[in-house]
């Protein structure tokens, strides 16, 4: 059986330091904000899995539909011997690519969860005994160094997660990915598309209230990790469509004037009645906008696939 290797590039205490910095910066600015990466503790990850199964939340199903239909084309177009997946999680959707890539030598999952990397990596080796798995415990938004593996390389960034980055952050991220690749390597990118506002808002404000619980979970994370005294019930979940920027915003709206204490940061934060804390943006895209952003980072859009309803897209771009 091929080896499972795990390289840790997150130093001890790095996650805690990043959380402290993000909370300190976000709660001191106007308007207040917290980045979405802090949704995903164990409970938050469970809630997100439930979200992906909701009737209103189409992106996961739509992307899976494309992967099933197009995996063989992706394999033929790339001839990848190394597959790198950013934010790999359970590696569930990646299995369609692994099955379709006959010449694949190495899979490199990248995630901040060591348990997810270990569990998924060992399961994949059991299913693909000739596959080498070299997992990276790393934050791919903070710069990344890939292990020496055979090319061509295919980097997959799925789920529409790129939409959580602001435009300048997206540009920096895509440029950093391009810097890891050689001519002939490729990027497979999942992007949610602009569509009717009612469909978009419903996907982030489901009738069962699962997304609301997921949104409020970030407050529970800050309470647990930084000793804060947020009352999640004192905030209301808000999802709205920003037509100018073409993104969904998730916010938490204070139900009353209140003061929150964060002893670990020696910080006290006041909220006025109705004041909103932004917790996520989820940008939606058009083919021309994706082509332009990729080109600016040194990629050439080669293939564009959507699900049957045209809700979601996978694009395959080559490193120029």
Task: Give the residue extent of every domain in the chain.
Answer: 20-56+197-283, 83-195+285-319
Residue 115 has a pLDDT of: 81
Q: What span, in angstroms and rounded, lies between the C-alpha atoms of 134 and 147?
A: 8
Neighbours of 28 (CB within 10 A): 11
Q: What span, in angstroms and rounded, lies between the C-alpha atoms of 316 and 170?
A: 17
DSSP collapsed to 3 states, 96-160? HHHHHCCCCCEEEEEECCHHHHHHHHHHHHHHCCCCEEEEEECCHHHCCCCCCCCCCEEEEECCC
- Look at residue 253 and give its three-state secondary structure: strand
pTM across the whole model: 0.94
Residue showing tokens 């982030």:
204
Residue 33 has a pLDDT of: 97
Tokens of 236: 């209301």
Residues of the chain with pLDDT under 70: 1-2
Residue 266 has a pLDDT of: 95
Residues contacting residue 299 through CB under 8 Å, at least 6 positions apart: 174, 178, 187, 317, 318, 319, 320
Residue 2 has a pLDDT of: 65
Per the DSSP assignment, residues forming a β-bridge with 134 are 5
Residues contacting residue 49 through CB under 8 Å, at least 6 positions apart: none
Residue 1 has a pLDDT of: 53
Residue showing tokens 């404000």:
205
CATH architecture of the region 83-195+285-319: 3-Layer(aba) Sandwich (3.40)
Dihedral sign (CA 176, 177, 180, 184)? negative
Q: Phi and psi at residue 140, in whole multiples of 5°?
A: -70, -15
CA torsion angle for 310, 96, 166, 40 (degrees, to 10)? 120
């Amino acid at each position: 059986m091929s080896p499972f290797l795990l390289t840790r590039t997150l130093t001890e205490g790095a996650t805690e330091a990043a959380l402290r910095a993000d909370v300190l910066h976000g709660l001191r600015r106007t308007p207040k904000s917290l980045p979405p990466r802090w949704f995903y503790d164990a409970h938050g990850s469970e809630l997100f899995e439930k979200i992906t199964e909701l009737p209103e939340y189409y992106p996961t199903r739509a992307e899976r539909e494309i992967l099933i239909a197009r995996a063989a084309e992706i394999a033929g177009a790339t001839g990848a011997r190394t597959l790198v997946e950013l934010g790999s999680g359970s590696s569930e959707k990646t299995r369609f690519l692994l099955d379709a890539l006959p010449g694949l030598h190495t899979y490199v999952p990248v995630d901040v969860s060591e348990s997810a990397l270990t569990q998924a990596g060992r399961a994949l080796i059991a299913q693909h005994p000739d596959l080498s798995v070299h997992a990276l415990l790393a934050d791919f938004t903070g710069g990344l160094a890939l292990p020496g593996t055979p090319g061509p390389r295919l980097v997959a960034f799925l789920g529409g997660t790129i939409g959580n980055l602001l435009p300048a952050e997206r540009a920096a991220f895509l440029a950093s990915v391009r810097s890891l690749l050689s001519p002939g390597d490729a990027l497979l990118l999942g992007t949610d598309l602009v569509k009717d506002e009612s469909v978009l808002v419903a996907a982030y404000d489901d009738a069962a209230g699962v997304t609301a619980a997921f949104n409020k979970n970030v407050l529970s994370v800050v309470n647990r990790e930084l000793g804060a005294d947020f009352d999640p019930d004192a905030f209301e979940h808000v999802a709205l469509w920003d037509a100018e920027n073409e993104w969904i915003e998730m916010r938490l709206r204070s139900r009353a004037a209140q003061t929150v204490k964060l002893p670990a940061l020696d910080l006290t934060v006041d909220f006025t009645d109705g004041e909103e804390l932004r917790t996520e943006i989820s940008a939606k895209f058009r083919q021309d906008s994706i082509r332009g952003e990729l080109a600016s980072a040194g990629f050439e859009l080669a293939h564009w696939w959507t699900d049957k309803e045209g809700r979601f897209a996978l694009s395959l771009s080559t490193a120029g």
